[in-house]
Each structure stands twice: as structure tokens, then as C-alpha cells.
Amino acid sequence: MPQSWQDIVADKKLKQQASIPKEWILKNLPAEDELNIMEFPDACGLLSPKEVEITNTHVGLLLANLARSRWSAVEVTTAFAKRAIIAHQLTNCLTEIFIERALARAAQLDEHIKKTGKVVGALHGLPISLKDQVSIKGIESTMGYVSWIGKSAERNSVLVDALESLGAVLCVKTNIPQTLMWPETFNHVFGRTTNPHNRSLTSGGSSGGEGALVALKGTTIGVGSDIGGSIRIPSACCGTYGFRPSTGRVPYAGCVNSLEGQDSLPSVLGPLSNSIGGIKAFMQGVMSQKTWLRDPSVIRKGWDENAYRLVEHGGGKALCFAILWNDGQVVPHLGNSTGTGNPYGYRPTGRPGTGTDSDLRIHSIPGFNGLLPLAWDVSPEDD
């Protein structure tokens, strides 16, 4: 008698659980009705003081400490792997877990820097997570489909090869909604991912596993994908930075998708991180790899520091942002909107104002007004 889909899923979940080191399984998890668990990883007792320090360090300083061998790649990988497992036990954000592979890779990087005194590349020793659809040789990408369980990738995606050439350490893949293209994260293989700020709410989608994991600092940079918001929605829901690159900037070849061959709605890969520095490090590193030689859909254009610095636009000192809270046809649900006291525009103190058509009813998205000053007032190390 053929195995039922429920039995196939149960076997898959058992294998996933077996991939977690037993000593990292927590006995003191917060009660289900404790909704905000953002502070739990630092206080749960699994992380040493040094691991707490490592996982709370921004990408730029992490890379500097790795390059100076102040912290080894094994130490950094272990710290973030532990925190990723904590995040998973809190929000169900992971799909594939391959920590032994990651630690072996980290040990190779440590050996390299010990022998040569040089880093492998710009992301040397940096733990990076991947959305489930990004293929790694020998590891499954189920995309939430029961019928794809047991089908391991035969080769790396182009992006994985590029990241490993840069010295990145890959150790987990993250949850998605079945088929992608959905603003929450649920499938019948791995279940639902919740928001670490409020576990009664969604982490967003379709890169919702990345949103939750990045928010809980279980990774330095997470790779998501986006057509109409699948990086931006989880970033907004979970309070992280997220960047949807233009089509053809980050290699997509070798990844799985529900719409392969449907080129009228091209998806793109892009980073989520807790700092703008993390976003820049990812984009700058990937573009340095000339991935257009391996993926013909990638534009033959490397990193342009002058464009990043807005040299042709006065260095960005006089930028003006226009914000349209709705288009006059579709507005945020009243239960999800709040008054700003200035319904026709948002004017941060000391910055150029934004004008909107006063005939439109402008609503604000909760939390968004608080995020705008943060985006403008980036600290120097995040530049």
C-alpha cells in the first residue's frame, strides 16, 4: 500500500528534528501565549556570553573580526547555528538544517587563513541562510510540496557557488508558503512560521522564514526572493532591512520555482539583514563574482560605488521621498491603519518634506512611520 502524504510528511519532520543537535533542544521554551519572544535567545541560557556578543554584532565588524582571526569561522558559525535553532523552536522558521556541513566548511576557512594569513573572499566565515528554493547539492528543496520530498539537488545554484567562493558559510534553509507568491508562510510539509514580535501574527511571505530568522539574529544575511513583495513584506512584518534588486542583478539559475518557464513574472533573489551594511556586503560581494558568465540572465554590470554614493545626485544630500499611503481606490483596513496627525504627508524633522495629492485619503501602516527615521538616520558603521 502506498505511503500516505501524511506519513511522508511525518517522516520528513522526524529527519528534520534529527538534524538538530540534541543538546540544543530547549527545555525552557516560553509558553505559547507568550507572544513577543525577541529577548528570549539572549536570555535562554543556550548561548555563551561570547556567542551572545557574536550574534549581536553587525556584519561589518563580524567580517573585520573574522579577517583578523579575533573570532574563528567555527566560533561564529556555531554561535549563529545555535541561535538559528533557537529561532526555529520559537517560530518554526527552518526547513533544511545542515550544521555539520557548515562546521566542516568553517574549519576549512580557519585552516586557510591560518596557512595563508588571508581571507578566502569578501564574506569569509560569514553564516548566511537561504530560502528553501535556493538549491545546494545533496540537499532537498521541497518548496512545501509533499511530492518533492526526497528529491535532493544534483548541483548548486549559481548563487550558492558565488557565495561559497566569497567565503560564506551556509548552514540552514528557511520556510516558505507552498508555491511561493503568498504574503504569509505556511505549507503542509513544515507548517506555519510565526512573527517573533507577536507569534499570533504572520512573519509575512513568501520569504517569511528568512524574516523571522533574521529578526531573531539567527543569521547575518538571509537570501529571499521577491516578485511583488516577498522580501519586502517579511522585512516590514519582522522589522529587518530587506532589498529587492532589479531583475538580472543577482543570479537565479539553478533555483527551483513554481513557475519555471513563466518569464512574464520574473522573480529575483535578494538579501535580508539587520543592517544596511549587511545588504551592501551581499550585493557588492555577489556582483564581484561576474555571475553573468554562469547565468546568462544576469546583467553584465559589476558594483558601482559612485552610483551607491549617489555621486551624480549631489551625494544624496537633497533627496526627497514621496510616500503614497494608498491610491484612492484601495486603502489599508482601518483596523490596520492609524492616524499620523498629518494625513497628507510625512515630514521627518529637518528633512525635505513630501507632498501628496490632498484629494487622496492618506493612511499610515502601523510601525512604518517609526521605520522611516531609522532608515534615514543610519549609523556610520551601517553605511
- CA-based nearest residue to 209, from 246, 184, 227: 184
Cell of 325: 499611503
- CA-based nearest residue to 139, from 10, 131, 109: 131
Which residues, 6 or more positions from 160, have their beta carbon under 8 angstroms from its beta carbon?
130, 134, 135, 136, 170, 254
Rounded to whole angstroms, the Cα distance separating 380 from 272 reads 19
Q: Which of 230, 235, 267, 275 is catalytic?
A: 230
Catalytic annotation on 230?
A: yes
Q: Which of 135, 206, 207, 273 is catalytic?
A: 206
User: In 31-58, which positions are buried (b, 16+ CB within 10 angstroms) versus exposed (e)?
Assistant: eeeeeebeebbbebebbeeebbebbebb
Cell of 336: 490596520
Q: Which residue has the cell 529587518?
A: 240
Q: Which of 12, 72, 82, 131 is catalytic?
A: 131
- CA-based nearest residue to 222, from 272, 171, 270, 174: 272
Residues noted as catalytic: 131, 206, 230
